[in-house]
Structure 1
């Protein structure tokens, strides 16, 4: 017997097919689907605060109310799109994706876990050198005291060490070494003396985190999707503009805050260029020498003696 088809069953199947459309930012049905998922996630308290549809209002450490967060739903949509492109769980991406100064960044633990679980390499390992000579450095720290911003000079003693992250590529069996990170590099780049830096309190962990990030950026950039780690963005922010040579110059976050505009560069007036012979300075035309001048010039080059 043939099964009868009713209008209600057709409408139900049509709705089911439309709701099963894959999430996408480029199709109408896919965008509606990703919005539905993002709306459900933004209403949860298990996601970080930048993805929630509401923000907590606190007074003296206690939550006294909530205010709408207009960026929560769009942030969820972006995180879902990144999770779909990476083939990762959306909640895992949202819990390890941080936004600092308007720029997304991964946690270092997520990068290490991605390298270990991608299947291309052996588990990540580190070569950490023994503590070297001690050096006392002086740095400045800024904090608030009695409602005023206070800058204080402090001293700290560090031990010079180096760290190199490495993996074994399973396809070739070769050992891949990342760039070596050292405490001297942290001093030269300004990471160690930055206000609130963790390089002073946990240098061994920061050495490993930075070494893992550099190795991942070299040998597995598709896992990072061009994003930096949260520790790197806390140390400095790369500018969007480039200098004259086209190379990006690192800019510290502290230099970007409360910075007065620089005065315009003074352009030196070039000296007046010498006018070659035979050129009219008023019209710019080339004046051909007369026959008498040509003959005189020819005679100068001849010696009749």
Structure 2
């Protein structure tokens, strides 16, 4: 005799409702996915294990989670290796190297060295073998000649002066990855590269701007170069014995030229960056300095006063 299940038994035997629901993937572009992404981001933002840039910042965590999903990487690993340098995101070089080594398309990255330490020819390049073809893929050479030409060793606290071999490995690996597998970094540079470049950011008008602090450093470097050039030219045969004037030699590089123009200062005034404009104007001649000062004064006056003054002039 067949036993008939009671309604209560039937309900007990039914799978939970969640089992029949469609799988929701965290994403930006559908309601359920966005809500799930927010919930996961809030959990990460409340943790002290994530870097400071993500603690209490749900938006940053959401972007990192999206990157992790697209890279098929662990979210915490992405957060620990995505650095913000001067407001720009960049991957740590060790993360890029690990991503290349584990992507399955190439053998592990290797490094070839050339030259003697202490010379401009000393450097290295990254290379590996593509598994599908067996072809050796060589990156570009990174040597001290390039480092000096690009000014990577001139930044404050530059690691090129204290751990050059490690920096050569990082930079050559980043160049190799950008040449052969740019999809791994999703177009983002390495954090070491960001630290070796000027803080230039693109404004809403499409113009790239450099911070006043960087310009001050450049002006100081120009001043030092001028001093070295004057010292080189100040030999007895090139100097007037009575006046001390240099009589011969090539023109001094950047002599008397500030690293920014009057137009740069006026653009800063229009943006409302009055302190930045005033800082630039300190290196101008008196005429240009007065133009900037008047522009700042006019912009800082209340709108009603400017309107009243304009009507008076009319």
TM class, shorter-length: 0.5 to 0.7
Question: Given the two structures, how large is their TM-score scaled by the length of structure 1?
Answer: 0.62
2:100 aligned residue: 115
More strand per residue: 1
1:33 and 1:16 map into 2 onto residues whose CA distance is 18
The answer to whether residue 144 in structure 2 is matched with residue 183 in structure 1 is: yes
Once the 2 structures are TM-superposed, how far is the Cα of residue 103 of structure 1 from its aligned partner? 1.2
1:36 has 2:39 as partner: yes
Runs of 5+ unmatched residues, structure 1: 54-71, 135-158, 266-305
Closer/same/farther in 2, CA of residues 177 and 249 from structure 1, 3 Å limit: farther
C-alpha distance 15-117 of structure 1, shift in aligned 2 (>3 A): closer
Gaps of 5+ in 2: 219-258, 265-314
The Cα RMSD (Å) is: 3.4
- C-alpha displacement at 1:133, in angstroms? 4.8
Task: Provide, for residues 202-254 of structure 1, a one-character-per-residue CA deviation record: whole Å limited to 9, x for no partner.
Answer: 1111011000000000100110000011100001156538xxxx9x9997995
Quote how far apart the aligned CAs of 1:178 are. 0.7
Q: Are 1:171 and 2:174 an aligned pair?
A: no
The answer as to whether partners of 2:114 and 2:121 remain within 8 angstroms in 1 is no
Equivalences for 1:119-268 in 2 at 5 Å?
119-134=104-119, 160-236=121-197, 237=199, 239-240=201-202, 254-255=213-214, 262-264=261-263
Taking CA–CA contacts closer than 8 Å with sequence separation of 6 or more, which of the two structures ends up with the larger relative contact order? 1
Say if 2:23 is the partner of 1:23: no
Within 1, Cα distance between the matches of 2:31 and 2:106? 39
TM-score normalised by structure 2 residue count: 0.61
Partners of 1:167 and 1:252 in 2: how far apart? 39
Which of the two has higher C-alpha Rg?
A: 1
Query: Where is the helix percentage greater, Structure 1 or Structure 2?
Result: 2
1:112 and 1:212 in contact (8 A); partners too:
yes
CA distance in 2, matches of 1:253, 1:206: 28
Partner-residue secondary structure (3-state), 2:153: coil
Note the C-alpha offset of 1:262: 2.5
Deviation at 1:256, TM superposition (A): 5.8
Q: Give the counterpart of 2:73 among 73, 88, 91.
A: 88
**Does the 8 Å contact 1:235/1:253 carry over to 2?**
no
